[in-house]
């Protein structure tokens, strides 16, 4: 596909594996100048080589921890301006609510929320000045239906939606868009290690490790395709809506607006049972772009 991104630059955080790596790969294959980040130089170099071997000619790596204030400053010094920012960095775990410490809450907010807010704060003004830009937060369906065993994680995913929606309101009349992508559980390298830690037989081959999601875990390519589609130069034509991806096609199909049930007051959302989103909507794109005026 040609998303007309050959003259654009992109920074993808958390991009040495999983969804982040596949997003960076797809953008690079489109001809975008891609910058990836990581804390481990060996993994960073391997990721750069992997993207280049896939046909992405313009890719470089910056050794920095994007979760910290110092790491974000290093990234901005290395790449003062970018056209596309994908805030993919994030951590997760299962933990009883009573066992989540103050330090846990602060750490999850710092890594999952503040890391993206810092970079958006650094790059958003330049995008508005140039009248073109894309900021994408990789949230999760957990931001809408918070798992009882991952409340601190779900909180951060909801916070990302709040930031992206607020920023989107500042893009009215421009060609800048701010979006959130809400993937269902993804079978990435990190998720496999996570599932192994919970499995009855951690030594079993990855394909035999059972999924803990009702819909199973899809590969990172599935969500990466949704993300890259929203970076297209045509994406500013989209109105605020919730789109669903039913296949790995690059086209995000717009769902018709459902009729409001008479028993639900305006502004209220009906309760959704856990797992229902996974079964019905494999990947959501929360298009927080401006309305067409």
Q: Which residues does 126 contact at the CB level (< 8 Å), separation at least 6?
A: 81, 133
Q: Are 138 and 181 in contact (CB under 8 A)?
A: yes
Q: Which one of 92, 108, 123, 153 is the catalytic residue?
A: 153
Cα-Cα-Cα-Cα torsion 25, 26, 28, 29, nearest 10 degrees, comes to 110
Q: Inter-axis angle of helices 115-130 and 151-168, to 10 degrees?
A: 10
The residues pairing with 67 across neighbouring beta strands, listed in sequence order, are none
Q: Count other Cβ atoms within 10 Å, centred on residue 62.
A: 18
Query: Does residue 92 have an active-site annotation?
Result: no
CA quadruple 177, 181, 187, 191: dihedral sign? positive
The vertex-225 CA angle with 221 and 4, nearest 5°, equals: 140
Query: Catalytic residue numbers?
Result: 153
């Amino acid at each position: 596909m040609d998303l007309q991104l050959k003259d654009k630059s992109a920074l993808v955080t958390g991009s040495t594996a999983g969804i982040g790596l596949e997003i960076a790969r797809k953008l690079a294959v489109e001809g975008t100048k891609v910058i990836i980040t990581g804390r481990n130089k060996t993994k960073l170099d391997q990721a750069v080589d992997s993207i280049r071997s896939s046909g992405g000619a313009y890719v470089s790596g910056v050794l920095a921890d994007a979760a910290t204030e110092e790491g974000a400053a290093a990234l901005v010094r290395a790449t003062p301006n970018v056209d596309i920012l994908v805030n993919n960095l994030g951590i997760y775990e299962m933990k009883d609510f009573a066992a989540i410490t103050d330090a846990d809450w602060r750490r999850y907010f710092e890594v999952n929320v503040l890391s993206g807010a810092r970079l958006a704060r650094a790059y958003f003004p330049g995008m508005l000045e140039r009248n073109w830009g894309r900021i994408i937060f990789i949230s999760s369906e957990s931001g809408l239906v918070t798992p009882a065993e991952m409340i601190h994680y779900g909180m951060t995913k909801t916070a990302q939606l709040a930031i992206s929606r607020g920023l989107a309101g500042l893009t009215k009349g421009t060609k800048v868009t701010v979006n959130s992508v809400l993937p269902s559980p993804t079978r990435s390298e990190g998720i496999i290690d996570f599932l192994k830690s919970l499995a009855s037989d951690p030594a079993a081959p990855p394909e035999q490790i059972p999924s803990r999601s009702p819909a199973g875990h899809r590969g990172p390519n599935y969500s990466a395709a949704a993300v890259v589609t929203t970076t297209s130069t045509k994406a500013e034509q989209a109105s605020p809506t919730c789109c669903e991806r039913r296949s790995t096609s690059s086209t995000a199909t717009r769902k018709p607006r459902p009729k409001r049930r008479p028993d639900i007051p305006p502004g209220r959302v009906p309760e959704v049972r856990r797992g229902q989103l996974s079964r019905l909507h494999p990947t959501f794109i929360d298009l927080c772009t401006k309305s067409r005026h």
